[in-house]
Amino acid sequence: MQNQRRALRGIVSAAMLVGCIDTAISQGSKLEDIEKNLQLCNGVGQATLDLRIEGCTALIDSDAAIPRTLAIAHNNRGNAYARKGEYDRAIEDYDESIKSNPDYAKAFNNRGVAYQKKGFYERAIGDFDRSISLNPKDAGVVANRAETYRKMGDFSRAVQDFEEAIRIEPTLEAVRSARCWIHALTGELPLGLTDCNEAIRLDPNVATTFDSRGLIYLKMSQWQAALADYDLALQLQPNLASSLYGRGLVKLKMGNLAEGKADIAAAVALEPDIEAQFARYGVP
């Protein structure tokens, strides 16, 4: 589904393990082993996700595993599992991280992202609420909660949270783009246009932002502007079904029947329900 690809990626909180080497040495651990596992668990260099997991596991199982080390190592291992799409194992690690440090805002945020990916939206909201209560200035967590509200169809709360995330960190392009998309869906087209313009200014290489602005121009019957944005979106992401379908509609409106039908057919081949999606967007 296009909405799934457009969704704001969960903003995950990483942490760096530092300061446990002296403790490890005093407990008899080998310095070179601890340093190696620290590097892996911290994700330094080009280590694969499996190697990161191995490094964190070695630290968790070692005699250097003081509570602070455990909290960060479980969090980082959870992040690696989440990136592999193993959300249940990630949640188990975030649970352990929170047990080691009940006030660890990063672990609450990351568990919230994992719950969101699994579709457990209420649980995700609870974790984001807790993370925000511990660290109200983390724009990424507020954006994660906004995206969860968007997935729940609560656009009003989503917009409120996106606004707060932008207030905290005005240069978050992905948040501007996500809020633009909500405005496009709800018909608040001038507001959406402002957000899309700013998102494109911050990062002119995101196909879905041009796609969102193309939808706004389509709804505003500004055919040339819509066509230009859909062309730009497809230059960046040639198989973006919503841009192919939108461009096809625009070409039909402009009288280019053959090319319009070809674009629509290509979009339907990629996503058979694309026509129903556009109907939900308010574009017949």
Question: Which CATH number do you get for residue 241?
Answer: 1.25.40.10
Q: What is the spatial distance between Cα 2 and Cα 8, in angstroms, rounded to a whole number?
A: 12
Domain end: 67, 102, 137, which one?
102
Q: Looking at residue 31, what is its pLDDT?
A: 46
Q: For the whole model, what pTM was predicted?
A: 0.81
Q: What is the pLDDT of residue 69?
A: 84
- In which domain, by residue range, is 213 found? 171-284
* 195 and 95 within one domain: no
Domain membership flag for residue 199: yes
- Does residue 75 belong to any structural domain of this protein? yes
For 61, 141, 174, the CA distances from 82, given in Å and listed in that order, are 21, 16, 20
Q: Which of 102, 121, 150 is the last residue of a domain?
A: 102
pLDDT at 20: 43
Q: What is the pLDDT of residue 66?
A: 81
Q: What is the mean pLDDT of each run of 10 residues along the chain (284 residues)?
A: 50 58 43 72 85 91 79 93 96 97 96 97 98 96 96 94 95 92 94 96 96 97 98 98 98 98 98 95 87
Given 102, 137, 162, which residue is the final one in a domain? Answer: 102
Provide the number of structural domains found in the chain: 2
d(CA 129, CA 140): 13
